[in-house]
Structure 1
Amino acid sequence: MSKVLNSDVELLPPCGGQEKAYSILLTPQAIRFVADMVLEFNSKVDQILRERKQRKLEVDATNARPDFRTDTLHIQQGSWTVDPVPKCLVNRHVDLGDVSPANIEHFTTSLQSSAQGIQTDFDDGHCPTWRTQIGGLYNVYRAVHNQIPGVPSIEHAPILMLRPRAWNMEEPNMMVNGVVVPGPLFDFALLMYHNAKILLDKGCGPFFYLSKIEGYREARLWDKIFTWAEVKLGLPLGCVKATVLIENVLAAFEMHEILYELRKHSAGLNCGLWDYSASFVNKFGHRPDFVLPDRHKYVNMERHFLKSYLALTIKTCHQRGCTATGGMSALLLPSKKGLEYNAAVEKACRAKLSEIKAGVDGFMVYDIGLLQPMQQLWAKFAPSPNQLAILRSDVNVQAKDLLLMPSGGVTLSGLKTNIAVGILFIDSWLIGRGHFPHSGSVEDSATAEISRSQVWQWIRHGTCLEDSKRPVTRRLVIDLIQAFLADNKPTSSSDSHRRLRVSANIFLELVTRKDFPEFITTYMNSNISFRAANHLDFANLTPVSSNL
């Protein structure tokens, strides 16, 4: 077993056909860089995760409601601002979201598009098998090194907004000193090591999205990681810029503090509708006063708790001199233009126009066909590069505004859709795919998260259906799962049908557990069916070569 700065490192060998990518990415020097980062920060990541658990235990024990901090008033009331961003980040009007670089066709088309940026995703829209991790990292490398045919040089392409995995995810295919490597450290280290200098020289990076941060201490850790990487690679301090996704209710109470911790590295904040909504179930789902109604009918950005959260994000960011961006339109346009196509575009534009009028500086779409209509929307209603001048002095959001659950119940249609999305997401992961189309929208881990969270919560509280007054029970959910399986028998192969049944069983286990599993992605990453389907096996880990 080889040593990397007095550490033992083991790696899974490459998947078939990925030997070239593996040899380019995982050089002895790159492995050393990853291992050094892990040695420096792994214990701090563990501490963050322990603090999350402790905070959750305290909330459960006391039934306390979160509030704005009183020990950081000097930060909340101070006159500081974040450092200026490079010119290429001044205009954040329309990014493409959920672009997994492991899908080379989608990634290539995105690089050829007119988007301002690409959420280059190793998180919500990506499934982290060993094959997709190596493939995705290699495709980013190829894009930055101008090796993808038909794609412009990286300085002329949309900005890469690289999104590593969140803190809850591990990379089971690499171990340092017998401990599995945190997924975000693996992703960030290799993205920085192979691409940061070129992106900096070209004036278009290195830039990141940070997922699922729950408070300012987690932002502080990322800031330390950024600084460490900049020093190690000989880069200017502060050259890394990151947009934090506020997709957890606890983080919404610490936005000033999060920006303050990242003030040398900040590219603003982003609103994530479904992960944010699911976090209410995650943190308070056992309480009847936090039952979230049917998301399809009653949960949208016009609801008071979400409208307040968006307004507070805009006000906070603009006060601190950085951009506030809205969430992603997951709409998929019809394949042919016509009345239905035009109606879909109009619907998407209408929803995003309300965000523009609220003062956001940009947002994301999934469908590339929405880029032009959205950019025309910006040109018509807010033609300047950003809306930082809109300070939203009218906004005075209190804790009660962020915690007010919308009224409404549960529809049978909404329950069926949540079940379908949850099962199909798991099924998608079992074939190594992070997102999938369903009923005219793209679904990913964020929508799977809210879907399975709601079903768990409705069973837990026996929430009644609006039409029949029948309570949501385990028996009802089983019946609806069986009906879903009967209606969705794959015709291609018996293997597909068996996989769908396995997915349904995993979903049922998720929504009927006594304790709420915190993240569906963490649950799946350790699930034996997922590991078997994607050849993830600790027994196959081998020491890296001894020439390190």
Structure 2
Amino acid sequence: MTVEVQAKTPEAAQTVLSPGALEFLRALQREFGTRRRELLARRAARQRAFDAGEDPDFLPETRAVREGDWRVAEAPADLMDRRVEITGPAEPKMIINALNSGAKVFMADFEDALSPTWHNVLAGQRALAAAVRRTLVHEAQGKTYRLGEALATLVVRPRGWHLEERHVHVDGAPISASLFDFGLFLFGNAHELLERGSGPYFYLPKLESHLEARLWNDVFNFAQDYLRIPRGTIRATVLIETLPAAFEMDEILFELKDHAAGLNAGRWDYIFSFIKTFRARPDKLLPDRAQVTMTVPFMHAYTELLIKTCHKRGAHAMGGMAAFIPNRKDPEVTERALEKVREDKRREARAGCDGTWVAHPDLIPVAMAEFDAVLGDAPHQKARGREEVAVRAEDLVNADVPGGAVTEAGVRNNINVALQYLSAWLSGTGAAAIHNLMEDAATAEISRAQLWQWRTHGATLEGGERVSEALYRRLKDEELASLQGAHLETAAELLDHLVLNPEFETFLTLRAYAHLD
């Protein structure tokens, strides 16, 4: 056996999933599948050490890299100015609106913002191929959406190393979802992008070590050689969204040196990773999710270190996502959202970030204004080295949140958000507006992880009651009764397992994926 598609492929998608593309995917999986599994096993082993009480720390064996004098490759012209990037699922309407939005970059997401049904994944790849060729048109509700003349630079985020694409098997086993998403886009579009003066650019999610970055770098070299394009053509920005990766930022950039385009402060997954890393530690409980802002000590330290590291190495330091979104039907909600985003982006720009993320087109002018005020006509502020920053290992693992508390309202909100998001995800929607915030898999992970953490360690609420299974079940039943939507019963069953299982599930999407078509 070689490569087999285990699901019906629509005729329109067969040009994307061509025999040549499948052969390329087979080659990638055979070359790198074993290393991927070994690195996932290494993740699990490191987590067992953390569960036993060990704290993450800077690696003594890579000190020479951290102290060395080296820089990453110069950014290509269309990735030089990244002051505002818009993100969203790789769906036709989103792709058109985002590319037309006035943002500098659009990150098309196959990961946290996309529910990976077979239809969604193939439709996303088809739409991106059409967008690269400027032929994408989308019709919905009597409207026709077309690409304009001035478009944002396209960057694609494949799924993380932990995920598989069960609809395609290589040698009898599911292919890595990372290799599938990356390989299919690269095979179909690399040459076209180069002919149009751009290139194949990616965001890399969920990395936990420089060894995982090394694997990506080897994948890039193999793929470029296979497709006969120059090494260094591919450019990748790494999301620093796991606590272990925060201790290896220099090393991650070093491993990807000729392909590196920067690092991004993936704040929501980072909070989730902090909870997951310290899941066995009652001394590391975090308060209500809304209280864990970018100004709390461990989040501030992580951002400062990211900016310093990137600028020292000549890489872009990208700020994170503000989850607040405007509501065009409610001016008061919109004004609050705009002010929150304005404050967040002002802080990032003044701290030294070279760009930032937004999730809604209406937020682009707000974010752009804050970065314009700091950057002016300059494309970035890498010359601002931030050498005065000194972040210690203990700063990155400090769970103190001044004034933080676990409240019944916080428990209820986590339950409500998790149920609504899982309902949306199971229905095929990976990014959902809930309570005037844009929720994706990362924010839902925080909600369910906090519920598990609080229940497991018996967190005490402000009124003195402890978070227990009985309290969770009572509040869950009350919140569930207030909701309407598809798949809520399945969502509740999944949440019960995620919260009440004695073992912490590494990713909610791994269990939920079995329920998708």
TM-score grouping bracket, smaller chain normalisation: over 0.9
1:472 Cα shift?
0.7
Task: Show the 5 A alignment for 1:390-469.
Answer: 390-407=384-401, 408-466=404-462, 468-469=463-464
In 2, Cα distance between equivalents of 1:347 and 1:248? 25
Q: Find the counterpart in structure 2 of residue 318 from structure 1.
A: 311
- Output one character per residue of 1:59-107: Cα deviation in whole Å (capped at 9) or x when no partner: 323x11111111111111111000111011111111112x1123x2222
Displacement of 1:484 in angstroms is 0.9
Q: Does residue 84 in structure 1 map to residue 89 in structure 2?
A: no
**C-alpha contact (below 8 Å) 1:305/1:405 kept by paired residues:** yes
- 1:29 positional shift: 0.9
CA distance in 2, matches of 1:93, 1:151: 24
Counterpart of 2:170 (choices 152, 167, 176) is 176
Aligned residue among 23, 35, 48 for 1:32? 23
Match of 1:144 among 109, 125, 132: 132
Equivalent residue for 2:196, pick from 195, 198, 202: 202
Q: Is the 8 A contact 1:9 1:177 kept in 2?
A: yes
* Partner-residue secondary structure (3-state), 1:250: helix
Greater displacement, 342-351 / 441-450: 342-351
Within 1, Cα distance between the matches of 2:334 and 2:20? 50
Q: How big is the shift at 1:455?
A: 0.3
**Structure 1 runs of 4+ with >4 Å offset:** 336-340
Q: Quick one: which amino acid aligns to residue 404 of structure 1? A: N
CA–CA distance in structure 1, aligned partners of residues 244 and 327 of structure 2: 37
Specify the SS of the correspondent of 1:115: coil
More RCO (CA 8 Å, sep 6+): 1
CA RMSD of aligned residues (A): 1.4
In the alignment, structure 1 segments of 5+ residues that lack a partner are: 1-6, 491-495, 535-548
Q: Tell me, yes or no, if the aligned pair for 1:299 and 1:406 is still in contact at 8 Å.
A: no
Quick one: which amino acid aligns to residue 417 of structure 2?
Answer: V
1:337 is displaced (CA, Å) by 7.5
Could you tell me how far 1:271 is from its partner in structure 2?
A: 0.5
CA distance in 2, matches of 1:435, 1:110: 14
The residue correspondences of 1:10-25 to structure 2 (distance < 5 A) are 10-14=4-8, 18-21=10-13, 23-25=14-16
Q: 1:419 deviation in Å?
A: 0.6
Scaled by the length of structure 1, what TM-score is found? 0.90
Partners of 2:176 and 2:512 in 1: CA distance: 16
The count of corresponding residues between Structure 1 and Structure 2 is 507
Say which of 352, 363, 376 aligns to 2:345.
352
SS, match of residue 71 in structure 1: helix
Aligned to 1:212: 206
CA shift, 1:8, in A, is: 2.2
Q: CA deviation at 1:502?
A: 1.9
Residue 453 of structure 1 aligns to which amino acid in structure 2? Answer: A
Q: Secondary structure at the residue paired with 1:114?
A: coil
Map of 1:364 onto structure 2: 357
Among 485, 488, 491, the residue aligned to 2:480: 485
Alignment-derived partner of residue 539 in structure 1:
none
Counterpart pick for 1:511 among 493, 499, 515: 499
Task: Give me the whole-angstrom Cα distance separating, in 2, the residues matched to 1:203 and 1:174.
Answer: 32
Please tell me whether the aligned partners of residues 293 and 406 of structure 1 are also in contact (alpha carbons under 8 angstroms): no
From 327, 330, 339, the counterpart of 1:334: 327
The residue that corresponds to 2:257 in the other structure is 263
Counterparts of 2:120 and 2:331 in 1: how far apart (Å)? 36
Residues 223-238 of structure 1 correspond to what in structure 2 (within 5 A)? Answer: 223-238=217-232
1:100 aligns with 2:89: yes
| Residue of structure 2 in register with 1:474 after alignment | 469
Structure 1 distance, partners of 2:148, 2:229, is 22
2: CA distance, partners of 1:111 / 1:83:
26
Aligned 8 A contact 2:311 2:382 in 1: yes
Equivalent AA in structure 2 for residue 478 of structure 1: R
| Residue 68 (1) aligns with residue 36 (2) | no
The 1:388–1:368 alpha-carbon spacing in structure 2 relative to 1, beyond 3 Å, is same
Aligned residue type for 1:522: L
1:306 and 2:299 matched: yes
Moved more, 323-332 or 207-216: 323-332
Matched, 1:287 2:281: yes
The code of the aligned residue for 2:29 comes to V
Q: Percent identity, please.
A: 37
Q: Distance in 1 between matches of 2:31 and 2:148?
A: 34
The alpha carbon displacement at 1:204 in A equals 2.1
| Alpha-carbon distance in 1 for matches of 2:455, 2:336 | 36
Task: Give 3-state SS (helix, strand or coil) of 1:349's partner.
Answer: helix
Is the 8 Å Cα contact of residues 248 and 275 (structure 1) preserved in structure 2?
Answer: yes
TM-fit CA distance, 1:119: 1.1
Contact 2:213 2:255 in 1 (8 A): yes
- C-alpha distance in structure 2 between counterparts of 1:173 and 1:182, whole Å: 11
> Residues of 2 paired with 1:340 and 1:152: CA distance?
30
Is contact 1:435-1:444 (8 Å) kept?
A: yes
2:72/2:258 contact within 8 Å kept: yes
Report how far residue 342 of structure 1 moved.
Answer: 3.1
Superposed CA deviations along residues 294-344 of structure 1, whole A, max 9, x for unmatched, are: 121x20110110000000000000000011001112221021474543342
Question: Which amino acid is 2:451 matched to?
Answer: V
Q: Distance in 2 between matches of 1:411 and 1:518?
A: 25
- Supply the AA of the counterpart residue of 2:253: L
What TM-score comes out, normalization by structure 2 length?
A: 0.96
Q: Distance in 1 between matches of 2:452 and 2:253?
A: 34
Q: Which amino acid aligns with 1:319?
A: K
Shift of 1:140: 0.5
Contact 1:111 1:151 survives alignment (8 Å): no
**3-state SS of the aligned residue for 1:81?**
coil
